[in-house]
Amino acid sequence: MVSLDNFMNDNGKIKNQKSINLNNGVTAEHLYAGLWNTTLAHPYKNVAKPDSFHIDMTGFHMPTPSRKVTSNFGYRPKFKRYHKGLDIKVNTGDTIYAAFDGVARVVRYDANGYGNYVVLRHENGLETIYGHMSKHLCKTDDVVKAGDPIGLGGNTGRSFGSHLHFETRFLGEAIDPALLFDFPNQTNVVDDFVYKKSDSHDGMVTARK
């Protein structure tokens, strides 16, 4: 199970102190206590969420240098289901990078969905998911830094052409990655994203009120 040690710097101090102060002392470690599952991408059932939580977006690294979004977050009438991430055009073999410092919670293959995928848990409270890769470059429980290679782009699983399926989640709840990352301009949207439970609808956060 992930340890608080993984979220400390070399001096033994918690890295994300600013975020902790903004969240009244609550850390990602508190929010995810007892919720370390290395086999399921979505193990969270009836998990209590705070009314609000500041997510520190500084220290990020874009998962890919590709600027082309091929499919947005939202409902897909053709498939009659929600697409809970962004699809980014990449070529098979392109390097995929960790978006933030964190720990690899799940590194698996899902033939009917994500294909080769990785779930990273981050000290800012987010989990990020990287799907349809051709190869994993990390293992479960690996500690990663923002910008570390975690996989190679591909077309595995339920996929129709080589791309990266990228999700951002908070305690299992899907947040539109476009609220956090600007892929066309290769930057973050905000330095401090405030998750608000009141913005949540059907287990997703798609727009700010």
Write out the chain's pLDDT in tens, 209 residues: 344 444 444 443 445 555 556 677 788 888 998 899 999 999 998 888 999 999 999 999 999 999 999 999 998 888 888 899 999 999 999 999 999 999 999 999 999 999 999 999 999 999 999 999 999 999 999 999 999 999 999 999 999 999 999 999 999 999 999 999 999 999 999 999 999 998 888 778 876 54
In angstroms, the Cα distances linking 113 to 91, 108, 202 are 19, 11, 20
14: left (phi over 0), alpha (psi -120 to 50) or beta: beta
* CA pair distance 135, 117, nearest whole angstrom: 9
Q: Which of 102, 63, 103 is nearest to 86 (CA)?
A: 63
Q: HSE (CB half, 13 Å, CA atoms) of 165? A: 23
Beta carbons of 58 and 16 less than 8 angstroms apart:
no
- 22: tokens are 């903004």
Q: Residue 5, class by beta-carbon neighbours within 10 Å (0-12 exposed, 13-18 middle, 19+ buried)?
A: exposed
Domain boundaries defined on the chain: 4-205
Report the top-level CATH class of 4-205. Answer: mainly beta
- Strand pairing category for 74-76 and 143-144: unpaired
Tell me, what amino acid is at 173?
E
Tell me, what amino acid is at 82?
Y
